[in-house]
């Protein structure tokens, strides 16, 4: 009796993959937010702002260098069969050096980021840390997508949970002793170690996945098909990475490290929910790849579950933002209205997040790229160009407010457009 193909072994509506990816994202995002909270207790406010420059730059570079290959793997690995090893490790061998090289260039062009990591040591030490952290972060998230696509989503959850816990513990130890440099090390050390261990784990998991498909050698899309999907979506992913990481960098550069630290904490609350929603809906790609005949049904299920999970989280975030920031002291409490306003923006952005996931699952790379770039690009452009009050002359919340207004207006505009378009073309509502 022959075994069923790898693509047919796991059926259903993708809820397990959604939950696993969401938990993995939540572990990392919540750990990042908790890390900033701990840093605010043990480090001067300006030092927190300096350290977040390194963290944002690392995530910006590593995220951009992924080229959206994580989603590509989720689309192509279920049918890759014995070619799975080549697909996965070819991806890793592309992303890691590309991310490291980009980190090197960024550190040379914006030396203040590497100087944060260097502390009292030579600049070359900080630059080396930036390169290693970027190279590791570039493939760290890709590992999670591979584990989901091979039917091992809960390994990704355990991996993400232990990584997050280690980061928080290291920050508590190193942050008090080394300030901004300690926060950098609390990221760089786990990233390098977990990436190395994760690569070994993938070698075992992917080889077993490939060997299990005994009926066929496996199918991969042509290089032209891959490029047609990846080229626009990789550019669009860069837009999302800019949204998550360039905005807090711009806040530090334009508002100063003290107010920048407050904005980073508020923005992290946004990133926690936003990235969790993205990971939750990204599972639609692998579910659709397994059962393409159920694409419309799976999309409706994903959208309904996304709203049921994340709308209450946004309300909770708006309510708890003030008390949490108040615990950190008066310097951070000024950001409470900023958190509440950002949660309103994320509510509108959920509509955009789902539409992006649907287009990815359908293979509509051009449509995905157009929507993502316009949405994220307008927010970044607004934050770059909008006039700000001079820090120190007005309440700190008023210095941050123009960034927030731009974010909310852009997300609201796109949400209204997408909902009206769905009604016009007769797409079925959430049910």
The tens digit of pLDDT for each residue in 92-147 reads 999 999 999 999 999 999 998 999 888 888 999 999 999 999 999 999 989 988 98
Per-chain mean pLDDT for the chain? 84
How sure is the predictor about 173, in pLDDT bands with cuts at 50, 70 and 90?
confident
Residue 430 is assigned to a structural domain of this protein = no
Quote the number of domains for the chain: 1
Structure-token match 């770039």, residue found:
373
The residue range of the domain holding 341 is 8-425
Residue 3 is assigned to a structural domain of this protein = no
Residue 199 is assigned to a structural domain of this protein = yes
Residue 323 is assigned to a structural domain of this protein = yes
Residue 302's nearest CA partner among 21, 90, 7, 98 is: 21
CB neighbours of 84 closer than 8 A, spacing ≥ 6?
Answer: 77, 150, 206, 209, 210, 218
Residue 2 is assigned to a structural domain of this protein = no
Residue 431 is assigned to a structural domain of this protein = no
**pLDDT confidence of residue 81:** 80
**pLDDT confidence of residue 226:** 86
CA 241 to chain CA centroid, Å, is 7
The tens digit of pLDDT for each residue in 277-312 reads 887 887 787 677 777 778 788 888 888 888 998 999
pLDDT mean over 229-242: 82
Length of the chain: 431
Residue 161 is assigned to a structural domain of this protein = yes
d(CA 52, CA 387): 23
Cβ proximity of 213 and 87 under 8 Å? no
74-83, 196-205, 237-246 — most confident range:
196-205
Residue 1 is assigned to a structural domain of this protein = no
């Amino acid at each position: 009796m022959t075994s069923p193909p790898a693509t047919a072994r796991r059926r259903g509506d993708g809820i397990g993959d959604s939950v696993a990816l969401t938990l993995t994202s939540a572990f990392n995002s919540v750990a990042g937010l908790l890390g900033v909270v701990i840093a605010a207790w043990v480090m001067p406010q300006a030092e927190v702002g300096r350290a977040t420059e390194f963290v944002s730059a690392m995530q910006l570079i590593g995220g951009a260098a992924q080229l959206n290959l994580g989603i590509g793997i989720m689309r192509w690995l279920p049918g890759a069969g014995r070619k799975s090893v080549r697909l996965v490790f070819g991806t890793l061998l592309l992303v890691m050096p590309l991310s490291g090289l980009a980190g090197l260039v960024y550190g040379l062009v914006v030396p203040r980021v590497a100087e944060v990591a260097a502390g009292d040591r030579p600049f070359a030490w900080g630059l080396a840390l930036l390169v290693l952290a970027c190279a590791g972060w570039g493939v760290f998230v890709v590992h999670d997508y591979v584990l989901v696509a091979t039917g091992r989503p809960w390994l990704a959850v355990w991996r993400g949970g232990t990584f997050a816990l280690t980061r928080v513990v290291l920050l508590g130890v190193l942050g008090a002793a080394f300030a901004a440099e300690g926060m950098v090390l609390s990221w760089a050390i786990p990233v390098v170690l977990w990436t190395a261990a994760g690569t070994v784990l993938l070698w075992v998991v992917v080889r077993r996945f490939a060997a299990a498909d005994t009926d066929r050698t496996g199918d991969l899309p042509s290089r032209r098909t891959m490029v047609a999907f990846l080229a626009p979506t990789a550019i669009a992913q860069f837009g999302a990475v800019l949204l998550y990481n360039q905005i807090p960098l711009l806040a530090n550069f334009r508002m100063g490290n003290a107010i920048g630290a407050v904005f980073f904490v508020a923005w992290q609350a946004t990133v926690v929910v936003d990235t969790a929603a993205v990971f939750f809906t990204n599972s639609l790609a692998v579910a659709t790849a397994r059962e393409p005949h159920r694409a419309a049904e799976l999309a409706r299920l994903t959208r309904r579950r996304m709203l049921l999970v994340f709308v209450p989280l946004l309300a909770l975030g708006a309510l708890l933002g003030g008390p949490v920031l108040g615990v950190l002291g008066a310097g951070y409490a000024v950001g409470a209205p900023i958190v509440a306003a950002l949660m309103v923006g994320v509510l509108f952005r959920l509509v955009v997040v789902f539409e992006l996931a649907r287009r990815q699952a359908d293979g509509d790379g051009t449509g995905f790229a157009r929507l993502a770039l316009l949405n994220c690009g307008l927010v970044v452009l607004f934050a770059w160009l909008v006039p700000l009050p001079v820090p120190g002359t007005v309440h700190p919340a008023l210095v941050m407010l123009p960034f927030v207004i731009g974010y909310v207006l852009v997300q609201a505009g796109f949400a209204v457009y997408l909902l009206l378009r769905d009604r016009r073309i007769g797409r079925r509502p959430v049910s």
